[in-house]
Amino acid sequence: MDTGLLLLYIKNMLTGFTRKTSSGETQSKIVYLLLFSIFILMPIKSISAAPFSWALHGGIFYFAADNGVDSDPAPIIPSGGFSLDWQLMRYLKIEVTEHIYFTDYEYNVTLGYPMACNPENRSAFVLGFLTGVNAVGYFPIGEGAFRVFGGLAFDFRVITLAIGLNHPADFTGDIKTDAQLQTDAVSKYFWEKGRWFMPSAGFGFDFPINSRFLLGFDLRAWFPVYKIWASDKAPDIDGWRFGANLRITILEASLFRGSQ
């Protein structure tokens, strides 16, 4: 059946149904919302049928910071995760990534924001799921391929009291020395004012190991755009992140050859 005729038929059917249950304005909203959903679901269906690949990756994060001599150095943190991508056309993919990391934080009461820290100064433990959705330009170069990508990322943090802090001396009732109060302050800071929203960009290379596996690496940066609207005493560099990853890609046998 022709797609246009099918949509017209669905519209007429839904309009007849909603007239029995709703007023005029509500009828139109329901009908066109359903039609809009159909237009959205059609490309999703075609994407799901497109060639896809997935990768496992591991590397390091550098959490940039400049908090003075009284703070710990900016941390370098191990990370691991995975990605899944759909090849939409010859040189374009859509990629979903997950970078998982963990580190300790303290809360600086004087400055009013949290800082990643060494274990001896910890109050809060943060387990982060840095989830991204990227458009990827994928360009074959000889036997390998060059990737350039950018998109949206969201840092979904699970924030708990740091491991090992269960002594009465850790709970003084004063936020300057109370681990639980500091943990609550760290959680509030990270979840308010969109501080979990961090667009990213980067590039990488892939090299074929055989017809099913690629070996590659990525360099990425995450941008703390929330600084535009969430003013605080944190230095300008605070919140920027940089990552380097090695990755193994598992793919359909025809996918790499089909991109050339």
Tens of pLDDT, residues 116-158: 999 999 999 999 999 999 999 999 998 889 999 999 999 999 9
For the cut 80, the answer to whether the pLDDT of residue 18 exceeds it is no
Residue 140 shares a structural domain with residue 67: yes
Closest to 82 measured CA to CA, from 131, 126, 49, 149: 131
Q: What is the CATH number of the domain that holds 227?
A: 2.40.160.20
Residue 86 shares a structural domain with residue 180: yes
Of the pLDDT bands very low, low, confident and very high (cuts 50, 70, 90), residue 12 is low
Which domain range does residue 25 map to? 1-49
Predicted pLDDT of residue 159 = 97
Residue 152 shares a structural domain with residue 190: yes
Q: Over the stretch 102-117, which tens digit does the pLDDT of each residue have? A: 999 999 998 899 999 9
**Portion of the chain with pLDDT greater than 70, in percent:** 77
Residue 202 shares a structural domain with residue 185: yes
Predicted pLDDT of residue 8 = 53
Q: Mean pLDDT score of the chain, rounded to an integer?
A: 82
Residue 106 in contact with residue 114, Cβ under 8 Å? yes
Model-level pTM?
Answer: 0.75
Beta-strand pair 213-222/52-63 = unpaired
Who's near 144: CB < 8 A, 6+ residues apart? 205, 206, 207, 208
Closest to 180 measured CA to CA, from 123, 220, 221, 121: 123
Query: What six digits make up the tokens of 135?
Result: 């458009």
Residue 114 shares a structural domain with residue 200: yes
Total structural domains within the chain: 2
DSSP letter, residue 168: G
Of the pLDDT bands very low, low, confident and very high (cuts 50, 70, 90), residue 234 is confident
Residue 100 shares a structural domain with residue 187: yes
Residue 41 shares a structural domain with residue 147: no
Q: Over the stretch 162-184, which tens digit does the pLDDT of each residue have? A: 999 988 888 999 999 999 999 99
Residue 153 in contact with residue 166, Cβ under 8 Å? no
Residue 44 shares a structural domain with residue 63: no
Residue 45 shares a structural domain with residue 61: no
Predicted pLDDT of residue 62 = 97
